[in-house]
Every structure is written in structure tokens, then in C-alpha cells.
Amino acid sequence: MAEGVETAEQLAEVRRLGVDQVQGNYFSPPVTPDRLMPAGARQLISTRS
């Protein structure tokens, strides 16, 4: 897995190297837990904590 991919050029290079799992700001900026998880999942987690 390649982490921190921020540009199309970086994506092309990691793909050229055979990496097939990539993450980084090129695909999505950082998100808060509220945006990441649906409300029901947040409620379930908070009741189990």
C-alpha cells in the first residue's frame, strides 16, 4: 500500500511500481469521524465504549 499520494504523478509512479492499493489526499482530503461513519454506527460505538 502506498500512503500519502497527493498528485497524479505520484499515483502513476506507484502504479508503475506495481502498487495496487493507494491512499492519500489525491483521492480524498482528511475527514472527521462524523463524516466517515453514518450516525447509526457512531451511536453504536458510543454505547459500547
| pLDDT recorded at residue 47 | 61
Would you say 35 and 14 are in contact if contact means Cβ atoms under 8 Å apart? Answer: no
pLDDT above 70 (res 39): no
Residue 1 falls within a domain, yes or no?
no
Q: Which residue is it, cell 499515483?
A: 11
Confidence of residue 33 (pLDDT cuts 50, 70, 90): confident
Is 3 inside a domain boundary? Answer: no
3-state helix, strand, coil in the chain (%, to 5): 45, 5, 50
Q: What's the mean pLDDT in 26-31?
A: 88
Q: Calculate the average pLDDT of the chain.
A: 85
Assigned domain for 36 exists: yes
pTM, 2 dp: 0.62
The reply to whether 19 falls in a domain is yes
The whole domain housing 15 covers 8-48
Residue 37 falls inside a structural domain:
yes
Residue of 10 and 38 predicted with greater confidence: 10
Specify the number of domains making up the chain. 1
Read off the C-alpha cell for 28.
480524498
Does any domain span residue 2?
A: no
